[in-house]
């Protein structure tokens, strides 16, 4: 199973299918969903705009699965340059 990083705000199902290269276009992603070939956490998902968050697992029949994880935060020291003590 592959992993893919997403931001804290999440991402919709159609976008993740395109970004993960499970669909060549938005139209193809929508068709895969409409055909019932896409599952989220093991359940067939028919909502194209379903919001996904870290921990969700997306699979497309015959193409494998992807686990979503939150983008790792940079060190807490980042962004402190020039700050007063």
- For residue 11, give the CATH number of its domain: 3.10.290.10
- In this prediction, residue 37 carries a pLDDT of 98
Residue 80 resides in a domain: no
Lowest mean pLDDT: which of 2-6, 13-17, 18-22, 75-79? 75-79
Residue 15 resides in a domain: yes
pTM for this entry? 0.79
Q: Which domain holds residue 34?
A: 2-70
Could you read off the pLDDT of 31-49 as tens digits, one per residue?
999 999 999 999 999 999 9
Residue 82 resides in a domain: no
Of the candidates 10, 64, 19, the one whose C-alpha atom is nearest the C-alpha of residue 38 is 64
Give how many domains the chain has, as a whole number. 1
- In this prediction, residue 17 carries a pLDDT of 96
Question: What span, in angstroms and rounded, lies between the C-alpha atoms of 85 and 81?
Answer: 10
Residue 79 resides in a domain: no
Could you read off the pLDDT of 45-85 as tens digits, one per residue?
999 999 999 999 999 999 989 999 988 765 444 444 444 44
Question: What span, in angstroms and rounded, lies between the C-alpha atoms of 70 and 9?
Answer: 9
């Amino acid at each position: 199973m592959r992993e893919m990083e997403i931001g804290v705000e999440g991402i919709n199902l159609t976008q993740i299918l395109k970004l993960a290269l499970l669909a060549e276009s938005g139209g193809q992603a929508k068709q895969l969903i409409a055909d019932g070939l896409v599952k989220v956490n093991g359940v067939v998902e028919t909502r194209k705009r379903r919001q996904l968050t870290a921990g969700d697992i997306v699979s497309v029949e015959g193409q494998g699965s992807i686990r979503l994880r939150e983008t790792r935060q940079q060190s807490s020291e980042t962004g402190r340059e020039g700050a007063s003590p």
